[in-house]
């Protein structure tokens, strides 16, 4: 592995990053299989975990100065990394960037915190509106980035403000209101910019904590009953096509349990692909293409992927 470039002082990229975030927060040749819910992925040259917005801004500046365009990730729950891994720098926004609290009547949290933790905090505060998110394994930033949703709820229903860093200038940008975020089904404005989301403000409603808890437990039980939580996966692989349910289309094609190597269409929910133990990214991609081809051949429906792909092909 080569860190690429040196500064005028002779420091290489890894040394410069270590000076910013500390040696414990920079990993070299780091297997991405340990950072994705799929448990798949080759090594990243450098994996960096900033502990504050200031550290993130400094990391972005060092990458920019060295001519490196970093890959930004959250909890890795909606991500398939190639078997060859990711060249250059991966910036992981995780619990190191996970502060949370109340600002007046708004819940504010940093991008790295797990969405499930935000949902529990809301419940403890007697705030309703995030019950749907209790079982979503991703980070808050990732959830806002893709407008994650479940059981009739979406992030767009709660997000009223975000702060993000322009990776070119380091400038902090603030967006206000639903329209400014261009939320759509599994989409937001952040998919179309190079800004790095660092914080979000959520407007929730007052509710009875006991009622909120009961609804969260009901939805968690429903998730356990219907989803293959006993195997690594990246959640729903495909977006829901208009007028259809993905799992039903896949099942009616006779693909329930169909496998390519250790990558398998779940026998519990056909909208999921699971890792039976040693699946490779290539096997998952081959299985995705096969499912898409069969669904299109049978029903004329083109399935679009919901998961994010990264890494060297």
Active site residue 306: yes
**pLDDT(11) > 80:** no
DSSP state of 194: -
pLDDT in tens, 243-291: 999 999 999 999 999 999 999 999 999 999 999 999 999 999 999 999 9
- Whether residue 90 is contained in a domain is answered as yes
For the stretch 197-211, pLDDT in tens is 999 999 999 999 999
Please tell me the predicted confidence (pLDDT) of residue 95: 86
Query: What CATH number is given to the structural domain containing 136?
Result: 3.30.465.10
Residue where a domain terminates, one of 95, 112, 136: 95
What's the confidence (pLDDT) of residue 31? 98
Structural domain contains residue 258: yes
Question: Is the distance from CB of 36 to CB of 80 less than 8 angstroms?
Answer: yes
Q: Answer yes or no: are the C-beta atoms of 21 and 76 closer than 8 Å.
A: no
pLDDT at 305 over 60: yes
Of the candidates 288, 209, 299, which has an alpha carbon nearest to the alpha carbon of residue 252? Answer: 299
Do both 205 and 295 map to the same domain? no
Query: Do 89 and 115 sit in the same domain of this protein?
Result: no
Same domain, 284 and 183: no
User: How large is the average pLDDT for residues 18-41?
Assistant: 97
294 as an active site residue: the answer is: no
Same domain, 171 and 204: yes
The residue range of the domain holding 72 is 13-95
Share the mean pLDDT of the chain.
94
71, 95, 119 — which closes off a domain? 95
Domain assignment present for residue 24? The answer is yes
pTM of structure: 0.92
- Whether residue 141 is predicted with pLDDT greater than 70 in this model: the reply is yes
**Other CB atoms within 10 A of residue 170 CB:** 15
Q: What is the DSSP string of 13-29?
A: HHHHHHHHH-GGGEEEE
Contacts 24+ apart (CB under 8 A), 247-255: 247/271, 247/272, 249/295, 249/298, 249/299, 249/301, 249/303, 250/291, 250/294, 250/295, 252/298, 252/299, 253/291, 253/294, 253/295, 253/298, 253/299, 255/290, 255/291, 255/294
Report the number of distinct structural domains present in the chain.
3
Active-site option among 236, 266, 283, 294: 236
Residue 103 CA to residue 204 CA, distance in Å, equals 12
Indicate which residue of 27, 161, 167, 186 is catalytic.
186
């Amino acid at each position: 592995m080569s860190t690429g470039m040196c500064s005028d002082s002779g420091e290489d990229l890894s040394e410069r990053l270590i000076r910013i975030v500390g040696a414990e927060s920079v990993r070299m040749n780091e297997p991405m299989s340990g950072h994705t819910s799929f448990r798949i992925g080759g090594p990243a040259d450098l994996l960096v975990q900033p502990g504050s917005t200031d550290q993130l801004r400094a990391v972005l500046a060092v990458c920019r100065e060295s001519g490196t365009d970093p890959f930004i990730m959250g909890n890795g729950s909606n991500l398939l990394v190639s078997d060859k891994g990711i060249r250059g720098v991966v910036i992981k926004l995780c619990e190191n960037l996970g502060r949370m609290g109340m600002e007046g009547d708004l819940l504010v949290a940093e991008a790295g915190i797990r969405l499930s933790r935000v949902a529990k905090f809301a419940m403890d505060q007697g705030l309703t509106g995030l019950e749907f998110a209790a079982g979503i394994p991703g980070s808050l930033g990732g959830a806002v980035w893709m407008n994650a949703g479940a059981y009739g709820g979406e992030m767009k229903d709660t997000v009223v403000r975000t702060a993000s860093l322009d990776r070119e200038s380091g400038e902090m940008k603030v967006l206000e209101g639903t329209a400014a975020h261009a939320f759509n089904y599994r989409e937001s404005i952040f998919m179309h910019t190079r800004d790095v989301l660092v914080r979000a403000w959520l407007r929730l409603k007052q509710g009875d904590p006991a009622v909120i808890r009961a609804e969260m437990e009901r939805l968690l039980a429903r998730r356990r009953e219907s989803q293959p939580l006993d195997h690594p996966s990246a959640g729903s692989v495909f977006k829901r096509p208009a007028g259809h349910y993905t799992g039903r289309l896949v099942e009616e094609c006779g693909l329930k349990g169909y496998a390519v190597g250790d990558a398998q269409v779940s026998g519990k929910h056909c909208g999921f692909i699971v890792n039976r133990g040693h699946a490779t990214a290539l096997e998952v991609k081959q299985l995705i293409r096969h499912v898409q081809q069969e669904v299109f051949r049978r029903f004329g429906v083109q399935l679009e992927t919901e998961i994010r792909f990264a890494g060297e092909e």
